[in-house]
Every structure is written in structure tokens, then in C-alpha cells.
Amino acid sequence: MDVDTRVVPANERYDYWHESVCDHFVPLLVTPASRNLQGRIQAVKFADTHVRRIAGTEHRFQRREQDIRRGGDPEQLNIVFVTHGSTVVEQDGRSAALHAGSFAFYDSSRPFDFRTRENFDYTIALLPKNRLDLPEATLRGCTIRPRSARTGVGRVARRLISSFAVPGREALGPSQASAIQDSLLATVRPLIAVDEPSIDASMFRVMARAYIQQRLADPDLSPRAVAAACGISPSYLHRLFDTEPQTVAAFIREQRLRTAAELLTSPAHRRDSIAKIGAACGIVDPASFSRMVRSRFGASPRELRRGASVRFI
């Protein structure tokens, strides 16, 4: 848990919470409904994309013009998934009620107002607008238009983003973080259109690839685990990869070894033991790790660390 109001004395709780919310999101006015303030935030980051889970007692969150002038604008389009509670949201002249199982977009560049009616629990992805590569009119037109996250592409996006909102599951290296961000953006981009997008096989492939990238450190990562996380059968997952250059198992292995090579050649991980790097990539047996690295790159982990060339083909 990155932030939890229970860890600070009651008389310091509001200042701690207000500062934490502004640090993890954007500068805004935070107004708890009662003195019995409680709140918690979990935060992870993939390249320029942030995923947050925030929960607490009844609140009002207002981003005003003065907040934008004072704290600047990170230029983010945010998608909020409601897990618990009911919230009235306003932006761009539109007002809507969000309930558990729904989602909506809102924009950091303009004022917004969230008024929760009870305890709340949200998962929010903060998406860099320059990476979405969409016209400003399209981005402005998608805000505060609630839809269901229980079916279709909304369900896929909710499952994917919620699975990432757990501290300690950040990407191991820059290339992995970039791949996860690309998958997140590819999943969310169709939802920005006002019309309901249709779900197709490419969506599940994107979700599967992102889930694999984010779980490389798990030695139990397998096609069956990936299928379960995506809400599809193992046989359907294998069919999704029939047209890909690699099977699901081969893709998992390749991503583990690419990440291992990145860590072995990174100055930031020079002090990490080879066994630790292998375990971080989900390969817990050092002998197996060495054999797999040599077979893939033609050099041992130690030789890669000493500067042997790495070719990703």
C-alpha cells in the first residue's frame, strides 16, 4: 500500500491525504465529507502511463482553474473504473452518475468535479494524451459519457488495468514498461470513440501480451494462467496466437530472455547477482537460466554482463 491514512495520527491525516492525492493525481481541492477521514492509494507506473487505485470515505474532489494554473497540466486523459460506490462527475458541461461496474473518461487539462455519495473505490489509468495520437476534439468529446465495464471492450480494459494496479508489479526494464504502456493504450483507444466499439480477437491478443509482460517475474506464469486472467479458455488463447510468429509459451520464454538480457547489460542492475536477475524474470533455477540465455544469445549471462553483443532477432 503506497498511501494509507491509518498510518498517521488523526490530527495530521487531512494534510497527509490532501498532499498524497495531489502528488499521485493532479493538484485539486480535496474535501472529505466527515472528520472520520479514511483513504488509501496504490500506485504503479509503466513508462509515461500511471495506474492508480484509490479508495476512501465520502469525498468531493474538485480540479479548479486555479489548481491548473498553480500546478500545471500533465496533459493526461484519465479513465476511471468504479468498483464500489456512487459518484456524480462533472466536466465540459456534462454531468453523469457513475456506479459500480461503470467507467468514464475525464481530462486533466480542464476543471472537473467528483462528488462521491458514500465510500468509494476506483481504479484509474492516467494516459499521456500525446501517446494516444488523437485529435483534441475527439478527446474532449469522450469525457463524462459513462458506459458499462461489465461487457465488451470496457470489460477487457477493466480487467487489464485493474490487474496492474498492484504495487510491486511494475515493469522490470524500460522496454518492458514501454510494451505494457503500448498495450494499455491500444486497449483503451477504441473506447474513446463515442460509439460502442466491438470486441475482436486483436483485443484479447493485446490483453494477453500485456498480462505476460507484467507477470514475467512469476515463475508460475503459463498459457493457462494467461487465459484465466483474460477471461477466455486456454484453447481460444492458443488459437489467438496461431497467426503469430510464436506460440504463447514461446512468447513468454522470449520476453523473459529479452528482459534478462536488458537487465544483465544495464548499469542500474550491475550489482544484482545473475541468480537474482534470473529469478526476477521468472527463471528461478540458475543452471536453467544460464542454459537458456546461452542458447538464445550465444553467450552466458556473465559474458553478456561483460559486454558480449546482444542481437534481438
Please tell me the predicted confidence (pLDDT) of residue 210. 87
Q: Give the neighbor-by-neighbor strand order of the sheet with 49-56.
A: 3-4, 39-46, 49-56, 120-128, 76-84, 102-107, 147-148
Please tell me the predicted confidence (pLDDT) of residue 258. 93
Mean pLDDT, the chain, rounded, equals 91
**Number of domains observed in the structure of the chain:** 1
Residues 6+ positions from 266 with CB-CB distance below 8 Å: 173
289 lies in a domain? Answer: no
Parent domain of 2? 1-150
**Which range among 15-29, 57-71, 107-121, 299-313 shows the weakest confidence by mean pLDDT?**
299-313
Please tell me the predicted confidence (pLDDT) of residue 90. 98
Which tens digit of pLDDT belongs to each residue from 223-279? Answer: 999 999 888 899 999 999 998 899 999 999 999 999 999 999 999 898 999 999 999
Residue 131 sits in a domain whose CATH number is 2.60.120.10
250 lies in a domain? Answer: no
Which tens digit of pLDDT belongs to each residue from 180-223? Answer: 899 899 889 889 975 666 677 888 888 899 889 888 999 999 99
307 lies in a domain? Answer: no
pLDDT band at 71 (very low <50, low <70, confident <90, very high): confident
300 lies in a domain? Answer: no
179 lies in a domain? Answer: no
Please tell me the predicted confidence (pLDDT) of residue 164. 83
297 lies in a domain? Answer: no
Strands 94-99 and 120-128: unpaired
Long-range contacts formed by 164-168: CB under 8 A, 24+ apart: 164/44, 164/46, 164/51, 164/214, 165/42, 165/44, 165/51, 165/52, 165/53, 165/123, 166/42, 166/44, 167/1, 167/2, 167/42, 167/43, 167/44
Mean of the pLDDT values across residues 75-82? 97
The C-alpha atoms of residue 115 and residue 24 are separated, in whole angstroms, by 19
Please tell me the predicted confidence (pLDDT) of residue 309. 59
Give the CA distances from residue 271 to residues 257, 259, 265, in Å, rounded to whole numbers and listed in that order. 19, 17, 11
Please tell me the predicted confidence (pLDDT) of residue 141. 93
- Residue 131 near residue 48, CB atoms below 8 Å: yes
Which tens digit of pLDDT belongs to each residue from 149-160? Answer: 998 888 888 988
Over pLDDT 70: what percentage of the chain?
Answer: 95
C-alpha cell at 54: 484509490
Q: At 130, is the secondary structure helix, strand, or coil?
A: helix
Please tell me the predicted confidence (pLDDT) of residue 202. 83
221 lies in a domain? Answer: no
pLDDT at position 58 over 90: yes
Strands 59-63 and 147-148: unpaired
pLDDT at position 312 over 60: no
**Cross-strand bridge partners of residue 41:** 3, 54
Residue with cell 491500444: 186
Please tell me the predicted confidence (pLDDT) of residue 176. 85
Residues 6+ positions from 56 with CB-CB distance below 8 Å: 5, 17, 32, 37, 38, 39, 40, 119, 120
201 lies in a domain? Answer: no
Q: Give the neighbor-by-neighbor strand order of the sheet with 29-32.
A: 29-32, 59-63, 112-116, 86-91, 94-99
